[in-house]
Amino acid sequence: MSRALPFRTVVLLASLTLIAAFAANLLLGDRVIAPAEAWRALTAPDGSETQLILRAIRLPRSLMAIEVGAALALSGALMQALTRNPLADPGLFGINAGAGFLILLATSLFGLSGLSGLIWFALAGAALGAAAGWLVSSAPGREAGSVTLTLSGIAVAAVLTGLSTALALWDPAAFDRLRHWSAGTLGGASLASVRFALPFLLLGLMLAAGSARALNALALGDALAQSLGAHLWRLRAGGLLAILLLAGTATAIAGPVAFVGLVAPHLVRRVSGPDMPRLLLGCALVGPVLVLLADLAGRMILPMGEVPVSIVTAFLGAPFLILLARGRLA
């Protein structure tokens, strides 16, 4: 998409791409389903094998891919705006690792396995990871730079991942119950989990949308933002709560999926510019496209199995991060 295209045209193209990716996820896989056959199975259930494949497997995981992609992309855009750090991402800053650690801890100590119980531990763990990363990077009288924040977040994520590994070795039964989740896959998606996660994601989305214009002022610096009427404490608290709701919920339902929150905002920013309302709208469309395509690719690579979506996004996101760190991507 060219920078010369009007943003409305870009939004239209992104929306059409999202619809096409969603349809491809429903129709393609180890069994290809014709569009007419899929329409009949979705609108006039008849108990056929096609209906089972679509309604019980492909439709839930496609809807979950949309939720996860939008949540991670929006949380990444918010993190980059709040920290003024182009490398900010829930995976890099320890938020996903914190959510995963407390989920594993809750499973080991309390035997929890349902999303209704684990989601609260995921949100608390996301807050733990964010707080730890900020404390490690902060220094009295000095604002942490982008490199310091990034390295601190990576260090916190590594520590929390190490603790999760140690806990899994100490209690293999708990890890076995979460083995599918820890791979970062959408294979265990269900319509019930999609519906349960929706209120948390909508609340995070509303908080993000409500702070979008104030974040434009924050990009100019704290002093100028205050002179323009921004309430910095309220803005940062609301933005952080939105990040925790979005990233924590995405991790709770799909496991640790990295790099979507890093890649999507940078792709959108190349056509939207720094304007936060436009950036958030674009991320809500591009993030789901990335996860849908990653999930589709993971299912198409192995004829009789699947590559977890987290592995596909890592293969795509790691080179992007390297180029970004080397200054090849503006």
Q: Report how far residue 112's alpha carbon sits from residue 101's, in angstroms, rounded to the nearest whole number.
A: 13
In this predicted structure, what is the pLDDT of residue 158? 86
CA geometry: angle 120, 281, 253, nearest 5 deg: 25
Three-state DSSP at 6 gives: coil
Q: What is the pLDDT of residue 16?
A: 96
**Which token pair is 228?**
């323009």
Query: What is the pLDDT, as a whole number, of residue 144?
Result: 53
Provide CATH code, domain 7-325: 1.10.3470.10
Give residue 190's identity as a one-letter amino acid code. Answer: S
pLDDT for the residue 139: 55
pLDDT at 4: 56
pLDDT at 145: 53
Instruction: Locate the domains of the chain by residue range.
Output: 7-325
State pTM to two decimals.
0.88
Phi, psi of 171 (to 5 degrees): -130, 80
Nearest residue to 78 via CA among 265, 324, 287: 265
Count Cβ atoms below 10 Å from residue 301 Cβ, excluding itself: 12
pLDDT at residue number 22: 97
* pLDDT recorded at residue 7: 83
pLDDT confidence of residue 1: 43
Instruction: Kindly give the parts of the chain with pLDDT less than 50.
Output: 1-2
**pLDDT of the residue at 288:** 97
What's the rounded Cα separation, in Å, for the pair 160 and 102? 9
Which alpha helices (DSSP H) does the chain contain, by range?
7-27, 35-43, 49-52, 59-83, 95-110, 115-137, 146-170, 172-177, 179-182, 191-210, 212-218, 222-227, 232-254, 260-272, 276-301, 309-325
Residue 137: predicted pLDDT: 67
Q: Which residues pair with 139 in a beta bridge?
A: 142
